[in-house]
């Protein structure tokens, strides 16, 4: 997408180009779509989503605001950028480095607890904001109150802008794909390591059951499914949907596996869950060495407690739902896996 950087106000198409770049960048850092839309709604009000804009277009006024979120005074950003080699001001030669510097400053603020001050109404950290599945409107106000603290709030406009960007940008780019890859690779690594087995009592490491395996996989990929109530198969659907997953059950054939993509979560609400790892294969936690759910030894005693295998439709009842994280569909080059043709009774 084309980046537009100048000390001028942008039109919608130009803002969309910058906004799409920001969305893909932050999604790739583990932000939710909701949080990205919220910060974009604030950025539009502050700067027209233009990293080169100065407050009131007063170029070089170091006492005023500058950049995407209008750091005030401008030296709050420019001094930081100088120390790290990022361009600012009228140095537009490398536009990606220009905007990346401001996005990295925001990520630095998240990590270091700078600029964000929790209020009574929004008493949570900047990190929690980035992972939140609350509505874009709610998060827009949270960012305004805890971060911007603007003299002129224009809250309704910020919320409208956030909803527009939530609805009109693509959030299924490489960032989402990277998140899916991390979840799949974590689960496959557990399956390939026999120090991890199946257990429904001690299920949060080193042993896992079917649901805790997938819940921890997505948590380790940066998707806060636990925060939204995921604990077992019976509550996974609502929690995963709140974290941005889409219900694509109607788009696939659960009997044959046709249409199921890399990273798709397969869910039987009562009994079982597994995850597609692409190329017609899945990863799952199944049963312990006694073909039971508890009181086995720690670790995989059979090679089939947590393992990868070819796709099958769950019996009895089949998969109730297939859930897909934004960005699914492309299977990366596979890591080494050991496929076992075995269906638990």
93 burial level (CB within 10 Å; 0-12, 13-18, 19+): exposed
pLDDT tens-digit map of 286-334: 999 998 888 888 999 999 999 999 999 999 999 999 999 876 554 454 4
What is the chain's mean pLDDT, rounded? Answer: 90
- pLDDT for the residue 155: 97
Give the Cα separation of 145 and 315 in Å (integer): 51
CB 126 within 8 A of CB 24: no
pLDDT tens-place string over residues 196-208? 999 999 999 999 9
What are 70-115's pLDDT values in tens digits? Answer: 999 999 999 999 999 999 999 999 999 999 999 999 999 999 999 9
Above pLDDT 90, what percent of the chain? Answer: 77
Amino acid 333: pLDDT: 45
**Tens digit of each residue's pLDDT (9 = 90 or more) over 157-199:** 999 999 999 888 877 544 557 788 889 999 999 999 999 999 9
Looking at the whole model, is its pTM more than 0.75? no
Strands (DSSP E) contained in the chain are 246-247, 265-268, 272-278, 281-285, 306-310, 321-324
Mean pLDDT across 205-227: 93
Can you read off the two tokens belonging to residue 158?
A: 């910020």
Average pLDDT, integer, range 43-53: 98
| Phi, psi torsion values for 198, nearest 5 degrees | -100, 135
- Is residue 2 scored above 60 in pLDDT? yes
Q: State how far the Cα of 290 lies from the Cα of 316, in Å rounded to an integer.
A: 20
Catalytic residues: 46
Nearest to 27 by CA among 168, 181, 183, 222: 222
Residues 272 and 277: their CA atoms lie apart, in Å, by 17
With tokens 């420019």, the residue in question is 78
Residue 206 preceded by cis peptide, ω within 30: yes
- Mapped onto helix, strand or coil, the DSSP state of residue 274 is strand
Check residues 105 and 242 and name the one with the higher pLDDT.
105
Check residue 339 and give its pLDDT: 38
């Amino acid at each position: 997408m084309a980046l537009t950087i100048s000390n001028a106000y942008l039109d919608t198409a130009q803002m969309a180009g910058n906004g799409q770049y920001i969305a893909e960048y932050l999604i790739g850092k583990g932000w939710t779509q909701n949080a990205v839309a919220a910060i974009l709604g604030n950025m539009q009000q502050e700067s027209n989503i233009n990293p080169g804009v100065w407050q009131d277009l007063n170029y070089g006024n170091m006492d005023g605001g500058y950049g995407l979120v209008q750091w005030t005074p401008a030296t709050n950003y420019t001094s930081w950028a100088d120390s790290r080699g990022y361009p600012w001001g009228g140095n537009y030669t490398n536009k990606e480095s220009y905007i990346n510097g401001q996005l990295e400053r925001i990520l630095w603020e998240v990590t270091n607890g700078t600029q964000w001050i929790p209020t009574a109404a929004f008493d949570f950290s900047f990190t929690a904001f980035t992972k939140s599945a609350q509505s874009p409107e709610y998060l827009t106000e949270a960012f305004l109150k805890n971060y911007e603290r603007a003299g002129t709030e224009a809250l309704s406009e910020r919320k409208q802008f956030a909803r527009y960007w939530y609805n009109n940008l693509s959030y299924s780019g490489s960032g989402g794909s990277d998140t899916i890859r991390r979840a799949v690779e974590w689960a496959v690594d557990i399956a390939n390591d026999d120090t991890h087995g199946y257990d429904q009592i001690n299920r949060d490491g080193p042993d896992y059951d079917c649901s805790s395996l997938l819940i921890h996989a997505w948590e380790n990929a940066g998707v806060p499914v636990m925060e939204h109530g995921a604990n077992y198969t019976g509550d996974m659907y609502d929690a995963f949907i709140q974290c941005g997953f889409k219900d694509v059950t109607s788009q696939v054939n659960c009997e044959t596996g046709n249409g199921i993509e890399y990273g798709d979560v397969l869910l039987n609400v009562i009994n079982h869950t597994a995850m597609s790892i692409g190329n017609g294969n899945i990863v799952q936690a199944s049963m312990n060495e006694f073909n039971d759910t508890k009181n086995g030894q720690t670790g995989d005693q059979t090679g089939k407690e947590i393992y990868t295998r070819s796709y099958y439709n769950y019996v009895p009842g089949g998969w109730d739902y297939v859930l897909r994280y934004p960005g699914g569909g492309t299977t990366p080059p596979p890591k080494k896996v050991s496929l076992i043709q075995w269906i638990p009774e």
